[in-house]
Amino acid sequence: MNPIAMISSLMLKALEFFSFICMGQYGLGIILLTVSVNLALYPLTLQSSIQMSALQKIQPMMKKLQEKHKDDPATQQKEIMALYKSEKINPLGGCLPMLLKIPFFIALFFALQSPEFKHLVAMPGVTNSFLWLSNLTLPDHTYIMVVLIAMSTYVSQKLMPGNNNDTTKMMNNIMPFMIAFISIPFPSGVQLYWTVSNFATAAQQYFINKRL
């Protein structure tokens, strides 16, 4: 069994467990599963934010090194790596939580379209609808979830450290629309997971920013 299939199977079992707690409400089960995944990744999210804040603080020093060694890229790179080491910064540390969330997202994407899930939601006493979503295995044809994905993506990005430069600001304005467009054909259960995950991330980041 490949890693994604294994995680997908685990996500399906976790979803079944949370839905059982919610009296067969799979929409609420997805919300509880999403919050649980974000809480489990919180220590990594905290460390990521610390690393990103530290990177932001040393930007003036990095610019000085880049200017000083602009004609010698090898020395420039060596000096920057030495700066990272002295400040105990991992330049890739800020990406880790986001990268770790991707397998969970892909796994849930496949889990909600699997025959096993369709069998689970067809059982007596199970509810496969949530609020205006008539079927969690089908896309939201009202496009409300698509709008919520765009909004939640924008909010979560705005709260991330290091959003001061013009390039990042431009990407933060474009990315929510791109992600929302990509999400249109996804099952509404996946759209619900994505939206809740974004808002959970935003809440965590708000708390972390206050703490830092």
Task: HSE, CB side, 13 Å, CA atoms: give it for residue 3.
Answer: 6
pLDDT score of 144: 92
pLDDT < 70 regions, the chain: 1-4, 70, 72, 87, 89-98, 161-169, 212
- Quote the pLDDT of residue 93: 59
pLDDT at 203: 86
Query: Mind listing the pLDDT tens digit for each residue in 136-160?
Result: 888 888 999 999 999 988 888 877 7
Tell me how many domains the chain contains: 1
| Domain housing 34 | 3-211
Spell out the SS3 assignment of 120-144: HHCCCCCECCECCECCCCCCCCCCH
State residue 183's pLDDT score: 87
pLDDT at 190: 85
Q: What is the pLDDT of residue 147?
A: 92
Q: What is the pLDDT of residue 27?
A: 87
Query: b/e string for 134-158 if b means 16 or more Cβ within 10 A?
Result: eebbebbeeeebbebbbebbbbbbe
Beta pairing partners, 130? 133
Kindly list the distances between the CA atom of residue 29 and the CA atoms of 13, 114, 135, 210, in Å, as whole numbers in the listed order. 11, 17, 14, 30
Q: Taking a C-beta distance cutoff of 8 angstroms, is the pair 111, 15 a contact?
A: yes
Whole-number pLDDT of residue 95: 65
Q: Please, which residues bridge with residue 25 across strands?
A: 127
What's the pLDDT score for residue 98? 66
